Amino acid sequence: QEVTKDVAVSGALWLPVELSGQGHSRRREAEAFISLHAALVEQAKARAAAQVVRAYGAAVVALQRSLILSDLLRDARAEAELMGERLKRGDAVRPDASLAAVEAARHEAMLAENGALLARAEGELAAQVDGYDPGTLVPVAPPALAGAAVQHPRVDITPRSRSLAAEAQFHAASAARSRREGQGMVSFGVIAGRGDYGETRLGGGVAYAFPLFRSNRPESARATAESSRALAEKSLHEALALRRLSLLEGEQRQLTSALSVLTSVALPAAKEAVRAVEDTYAAGKTEMLAVLLSRRELPTLALRRLELRESSWLLVADYVEITGDLP
């Protein structure tokens, strides 16, 4: 009867090897992921820059509006005091003195409301711009949306376009990685041991898992669909951006024309009308109400001019948000 000499010992080492490029596809997906988030950061910077431009435009307009309203309030108060003195002397009637006082109160309320708008705009600037000191604002005119950058824009390199292109590339890389990983790896094995008689036993083998039940087809199809969606959205965005930039230029051109008419025609005419009505009132041929109504045209036109400037700043902010750069 044969008796075994010792206990049989056996060990196996299997080394899986990716022969279908799975590792390379994972590296490409990781690189595409990094590129996508870098593009998203640039898009966020463009949005932040646009917000700064909007806040700056609002602050500039509010500051200039404060100067106009302060001058109007000073003149209205002087007129109200004068009318009060004339009423005491019997040189003016009570309705005229009341209208002058109401006019002064109206300008005071407008100035206080505009102060709140200015504080809000400067607060937004201070929150968005490091080191900004409220009260040190230097007003400048909005830049013109003209030139080759606006007339022939490169909408394919806008922050939004680049982020969508990076998103499409990431999903395409993810689909490729899913397809690669759906293919089984080849495993090479080494077997070593000792038989029950103490003899050395060596062996080897090759193993492959056929992707019959798990080939990552749903994941690959979903990533491919997301890539197609991003490319379609990119194409739509570029078409809309091209049209929007053209409209921005045309809209600002109309605003500039309106500003020119207000500055060169409407305001001088309003000032002449006020002088004529004041002369007529001084001659005793009209009432105080006519003077106050004529004077309202001046601040109305001046404030309207500031509204046009604010609208122009909003157009510049839209341009910055689309392109990521100042014109």
pLDDT of 160 higher than 90: yes
Q: What is the dihedral of CA 224, 228, 230, 232, to 10 degrees?
A: 180
| Average model confidence (pLDDT) across the chain | 83
Q: What is the pLDDT of residue 291?
A: 67
Sheet with 186-194, strands from edge to edge, namely 9-17, 186-194, 200-208
pLDDT of 52 higher than 80: yes
Using alpha carbons, select from 118, 107, 24 the residue that is nearest to residue 73.
Answer: 107
The length of the chain is 327
Q: What is the pLDDT of residue 57?
A: 92
What is the tens place of the pLDDT at every residue in 126-147?
888 888 887 778 888 888 887 6
pLDDT band at 93 (very low <50, low <70, confident <90, very high): low
pLDDT band at 1 (very low <50, low <70, confident <90, very high): very low
pLDDT, average across residues 23-45: 92
Work out the end-to-end distance of the chain between its first and last CA atoms, rounded to an integer number of angstroms. Answer: 100
